[in-house]
Chain A
Amino acid sequence: DAGITQSPRHKVTETGTPVTLRCHQTENHRYMYWYRQDPGHGLRLIHYSYGVKDTDKGEVSDGYSVSRSKTEDFLLTLESATSSQTSVYFCAISGISNTANTGELFFGEGSRLTVL
């Protein structure tokens, strides 16, 4: 199994509070992704990273920011959580090489976030 760890795995928070989810990989892969999964919507791309300090927006980036200060960590931050951000968040890494993006994703186990 790919070495991907998400933390926390479960979190309950209140509307308006900041939340940070962490994705940690031990595979030295260049590409990292954050998705959210909601019933009826499948997986939607929030942000992704193609290298240290290199990130870009996905399909549903409003209300989220990311940072990647080192290869192994990709942080997803909700600056002021809202109930619409209640979801399961998945981190994924791509590729079997540190340079080429093969497009094959390896997923973490997910982080379930509830915003009350």
Chain B
Amino acid sequence: AQSVTQLGSHVSVSEGALVLLRCNYSSSVPPYLFWYVQYPNQGLQLLLKYTSAATLVKGINGFEAEFKKSETSFHLTKPSAHMSDAAEYFCAVSDGRDDKIIFGKGTRLHILP
């Protein structure tokens, strides 16, 4: 069964600094991978997704993620953090076989002024 591990339940970065949120997946077949963001008291919204096309995926709000099969990773990055990026971020995986979409435990991103 597919699974996702997000390293770090809380990450703090200074405004303007690089954002790096880590995600490792487990899947027996080539997966579909996703990053979602949740702002306070809201539902989740899609940031970006990998579906076996380009390994470097660009999303909304300047975020991107790179699929690395050899490392089973799909880390999320943004070159320069903004205060509005403060939110909780979730990595998710689907192996495309049984329509299950499994989420990681989330990483809360704090932006320091």
Contact = CB atoms under 8 A, between A and B. Distances in A.
A binds B: yes
Contacts of A109: 42-43
Contact of B36 (A31, A58, A105): A105
B51 A42 contact: no
B99 A48 contact: yes
B45 interface: yes
Nearest to B34: A103
> How many A residues touch the partner, as a band?
20 to 34
A64 to B, nearest CB: 15
Contact of B104 (A42, A48, A110): A42
> How many B residues touch the partner, as a band?
20 to 34
B110 to A, nearest CB: 16
A31 B99 contact: yes
B43 A35 contact: no
Interface string B60-97: 00000000000000000000000000000010101010
Given A42-B90, A48-B100, A56-B98, A107 B105 contact: no
B44 interface: yes
A22 interface: no
Contacts of A110: 43
Nearest to A50: B99
Interface string B20-60: 00000000000010101000001111100101000000000
Contact of A35 (B32, B94, B103): B103
20 contacts: A40-B9, A40-B105, A42-B103, A42-B106, A43-B106, A45-B101, A48-B99, A48-B100, A56-B99, A90-B44, A94-B99, A101-B96, A103-B32, A103-B96, A103-B101, A105-B34, A105-B46, A107-B43, A108-B43, A109-B42
